[in-house]
Amino acid sequence: MEEHIIDQQKPHSLFKAEQVPAIVRHLVPILIVCTIIMLLTGNLSVGASVDVNIALGNGNNISLPEVFGFSLGHTIRQLYAAGIYPLLFLVVGFSGMWPYGKLLLMLRAWI
């Protein structure tokens, strides 16, 4: 009975739990860190761009590379410059902070 009470008071992480297979114990934290790195890469690069291609009647084409690019940083700067603070807070919170916070909490809970 006393042993059972001691076990309940001492929290164990899933990383140290013997019931979880060893491959899963080591693979989950690695995958969480890889997800954070991929998310950072995606947020720091251009997500989409607008290119203009004009086809002339004589068979020639005029191309204007990347007229406008979309990225998280660019969107945040534009919202701040335009003074659209409610949308700015939503974008920063749900696209900038929440994904990383969630992954870090998952990593903390696992380890």
Find the largest Cα–Cα distance for the chain. Answer: 90
pLDDT tens, 3-36? 555 555 555 788 888 888 889 989 999 999 999 9
* CA–CA separation, 94 and 107 (whole Å): 19
User: Taking residues 60-70, what's their average pLDDT?
Assistant: 82
Does the pLDDT of residue 99 top 90, yes or no? yes
pTM beyond 0.85, yes or no:
no
3 state SS for 64-95 = EEEEEEECHHHHHHHHHHHCCHHHHHHHHHHH
